[in-house]
Amino acid sequence: MSDLHRRVAETSAILERIARDFTPTVFASSLAAEDMVLTDLILKADLPIAIFSLETGRLHAETLAMIDRVKDTYDYDIALFRPDPLAVERYVTQNGLNAFYESVDMRKECCRIRKVEPLGRALAGKRAWITGQRRAQSATRAELAVQEDDLSHAMQKFNPLTDWSEENVWDYLRSNNVPYNALHDRGFPSIGCEPCTRAVQPGEDVRAGRWWWENPESKECGLHVVDGKLIRIKSVAA
């Protein structure tokens, strides 16, 4: 069995266990490459795992186009969760549209409004949630576990692609004709909001283009943070 086939078999088993033991559960998709692997596995297996995405209001057109591509390919409508418009208006009025460039605190507040609060609504009433995070993506994810206790949301959090390499991801996408974000072909291995993401240079870390003006240790948006700190709370044996 090839490395990719083994990874797919292991990940499929994890997803089946989540669907069986943690219903209702949801998958948070950023519509990037890793998330399209999980989207393909979930929808082709017809698993009872709902898929949602955070439409922050600052996404690239190419990212938004993925919503229609998923619909066209799988006949599935990804649920979209948007920020509170009044909170966005207050932030912009008080600080400016692009105040997130001014400090880490300003950037984290923007992420809180546009991502963290909508995520809370998306996870309400669920027993578990799934992400497409991988250990190899960045220093902040080096200790990522497949299953974790998410204390901030009082539920289990699963990262089924923890041990996948970037090569695994792209081998899967190409061998299965899975649609992917066009920005990946333009030097964007990691994709977030448009003003906070740039293409990376040869030899740079895959997440170097995210919040490129900050130190690597601060580069998380808050979706995977507890009490303001990035913590691998407690891994749970699968």
Residues 21 and 153: their CA atoms lie apart, in Å, by 18
| Residue 131: pLDDT over 70 | yes
What would the mean pLDDT of 128-136 be, rounded to a whole number? 93
DSSP secondary structure letters along 203-226: TS-TTTTBTTTS-GGG---STT-B
Average pLDDT, the chain: 89
Please check whether residue 73 is in contact with residue 179, taking contact to mean a CB–CB distance below 8 angstroms: yes
* Rounded percentage of the chain residues whose pLDDT exceeds 70: 87
Domains recognised in the chain with CATH numbers: 3-218 (3.40.50.620)
User: Of 111, 193, 196, 221, which is the active-site residue?
Assistant: 221
pLDDT for res 139: 63
Exposure of 22 in the CB half-sphere (CA atoms within 13 A): 25
221 in catalytic set: yes
Please check whether residue 62 is in contact with residue 183, taking contact to mean a CB–CB distance below 8 angstroms: yes
Predicted confidence (pLDDT) per residue in 165-206, tens digit: 999 999 999 999 999 999 999 988 888 999 898 888 887 777
pLDDT for res 204: 78
